[in-house]
């Protein structure tokens, strides 16, 4: 049973516009959330994270928002660049490991 869900398998955005990637989770005990980015033929790389005691964390063009009551987090990329085209996974920290979503493929169109 998927505890972390990304309901949009793909997203296309024009260069310079905002990309919004969404993630929902079911376990209210999760206390730390992460986004990973994956290029083809490479392993995922860490992008940004947020603790459950916060509702927003920003790092340059990337901002993660957490809505605990809705069990929802989102990643905003502004402005989007062609190099951001990749698969994005959200993940939630369990007791010993991470639970990953199914991924969203972002395509930024030049």
Partner 1 sequence: DVKVTQSSRYLVKRTGEKVFLECVQDMDHENMFWYRQDPGLGLRLIYFSYDVKMKEKGDIPEGYSVSREKKERFSLILESASTNQTSMYLCASSLGGTVYNEQFFGPGTRLTVL
Residues forming the site for partner 1 (CB under 8 A): 2, 4, 6, 9, 32, 36, 41-46, 89, 91, 93, 96-98, 100-103
Contact 94, 32 (CB under 8 A): no
Measured from the Cβ of residue 52, the count of other Cβ atoms closer than 10 Å reads 16
Nearest to 74 by CA among 56, 61, 93: 56
From the CB of 56, what's the least distance to partner 1, in Å? Answer: 19
> Residue 79 or residue 105: which is nearer to partner 1 going by CB?
105
From the CB of 66, what's the least distance to partner 1, in Å? Answer: 15
């Amino acid at each position: 049973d998927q505890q972390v869900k990304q309901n949009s398998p793909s997203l296309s955005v024009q260069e310079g516009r905002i990309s919004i990637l969404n993630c929902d989770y079911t376990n209210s005990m999760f206390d730390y959330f992460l986004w990973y980015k994956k290029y083809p033929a490479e392993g995922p790389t860490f992008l940004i994270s947020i603790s459950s005691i916060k509702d927003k964390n920003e790092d340059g063009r990337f901002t993660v928002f957490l809505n605990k009551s809705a069990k929802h987090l989102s990643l905003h990329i502004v402005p989007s660049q062609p190099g951001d085209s990749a698969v994005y996974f959200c993940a939630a920290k369990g007791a010993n490991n991470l639970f990953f979503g199914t991924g969203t493929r972002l395509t930024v169109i030049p």
